[in-house]
A = this chain, B = another copy of it.
């Protein structure tokens, strides 16, 4: 796992709106110890910061190479599969599963796909707006009496679980199981935008329900793990509809 083809390098860890720079530093250290290296920071509250550097310890290179972006959409460019980490159960939502289950399946995906691991703000976790980009939600089982894990501790467990599964998969040639290449996040987003505008044009979007409707549609299509041909077909249909109603 230390070679150039280290499959853990296919993962990007995205921290959204992190409040405390110390948590960014601790997270960098956590992911590096587990063999990961690619850190994305969406609108960090206070970064760069000496506190982050101090807590990163020997993982200062991860901080130096971290990619800082203004929106989650920017962080997801080129991503094929996004896992959101959230403890909360939500009403209308993606499948919500234990990290061990997630680790079992995302590693083989990473052979051909760019996988994002998404962590929310320390206090409020992932927002609904962030959640909507995820194909799947995952949680770390915690005590009902006190379930508040520190952000970097959650990053540590998630990276550890994926690392453990990676070692297992590599030893068992599970990686050779062929997994399809999904479309990237921006292609998918382009499709959703196209879909939304068509629904609007045909008068299907009542303003008051539009957001909820789009959320349901996103959830539905996210479950399919679309490939490129399928997206082309769907967008072809949408374009055809647009021509007809002009």
Contacts and interface: CB of A to CB of B under 8 A. Distances in A.
A38 interface: no
Interface string A151-193: 0110011001001100100000000000000000000000000
A34 interface: yes
A35 B152 CA distance: 18
A4 to B, nearest CB: 12
A201 interface: no
Contact of A32 (B29, B30, B146): B146
A143 B34 contact: yes
A127 interface: no
Contacts of A156: 149, 153, 156-157
Given A153-B156, A157-B156, A142 B33 contact: yes
A2 interface: yes
Contacts of A153: 26, 29-30, 33, 152-153, 156
B143 A32 contact: yes
Nearest to A32: B146
Interface residues of A, number: 32
Given A153-B153, A157-B156, A148 B30 contact: no
A236 interface: no
Interface in A113-159: 140-150, 152-153, 156-157
B59 A146 contact: yes
A45 interface: no
A57 interface: yes
A32 B149 CA distance: 9
Contact of A33 (B1, B34, B146): B146
Nearest to A100: B164
Given A33-B146, A33-B149, A146-B33, A141 B167 contact: yes
17 contacts: A2-B143, A2-B144, A2-B145, A26-B150, A26-B153, A29-B150, A29-B153, A33-B142, A33-B148, A33-B149, A58-B148, A59-B146, A140-B160, A141-B164, A153-B156, A157-B157, A157-B160
Interface string A18-51: 0000000010011011110000000000000000
A156 to B, nearest CB: 5
Contacts of A140: 160
